Structure 1
């Protein structure tokens, strides 16, 4: 049993914060929802943050069967947002990479998302923002987020 159980108030606070974050995400997606689905955008963001991926890695990250990931990626390739390249380490596996159009789309969404988050954060004191940074970093680590997977500066969307 946990020596320090999670309180209902802590869970409720996270639920309220998650509603705000979901609203920010939804608004950042609104302008591209006629171009990509949320799952497709998730793949584009994954490749933008992690670099080239195999189809197997995409399927595992999405938690779907490889055939579903294949169809999703086929649509992204057809939309010219992603391309398939030979993997120089193992030619049996293709690498999925973003095209310039794909990079631009991810950048557009992330710039809008960062601006919306900045608007909310600007209504907090500097001390509150500093504390929030520490807490959210700990939360992300506890959830398994790798800090090394931040958006690359080359996209113009890194801090």
Structure 2
């Protein structure tokens, strides 16, 4: 039998962890580039991970409406973080790919986030650290859209 999350106790603990993660995410993004919103960075990450990718696919991946993604990607193109080209197989589609600078930003944000998370995890005793990492893996699997 699975135990349900209680809103007051488990939910508050999960919410506190989420707030800490969002703070780390925002701080590391601001450190690398103060020019991007979180949505723009998420779009850049999707483009970098799925190259080449259409705007429609980026919108689906992010769960956003296409016009929001179009605006985010226009900003990424104007900052020379993403290249845009017509799909030679379907002229109605626009393909997106990261520039070298766009890839560098994604890699730097990831490196900074790993460093910050590593320093937080280093404050935990080894057994707790292993348990937290196992919980992170389980949580990520459970939260995955494919689950």
How would you bin the TM-score normalised by the shorter chain?
Answer: 0.7 to 0.9
Counterpart CA distance in 1 for 2:20 and 2:2 is 30
In the other structure, the counterpart of 1:100 is: 100
1:17 correspondence with 2:30: no
Counterpart CA distance in 2 for 1:45 and 1:62 is 10
1:57 shift after superposition: 1.2
CA distance 1:89–1:123, change in 2 (3 Å): farther
1:135 correspondence with 2:139: no
In the other structure, the counterpart of 1:54 is: 54
In the other structure, the counterpart of 2:45 is: 45
Helix, strand or coil for the counterpart of 1:96?
strand
1:140-155 equivalence runs, <5 A: 140-144=140-144
Q: TM-score, normalised by structure 2?
A: 0.84
Helix, strand or coil for the counterpart of 1:35?
coil
1:33 shift after superposition: 4.7
Question: Structure 2: any 5+ residue segments left out of the alignment?
Answer: none
Counterpart CA distance in 2 for 1:66 and 1:23 is 27
1:112 shift after superposition: 1.1
In the other structure, the counterpart of 1:122 is: 122
Deviations 1:117-158 (CA, angstroms, capped at 9, x unpaired): 011000112222221122111111111167xxxxxxxxxxxx
Question: Structure 1: any 5+ residue segments left out of the alignment?
Answer: 147-159
Give the structure with the larger strand fraction: 2
1:101 shift after superposition: 0.7
Q: TM-score, normalised by structure 1?
A: 0.79
In the other structure, the counterpart of 1:6 is: 5
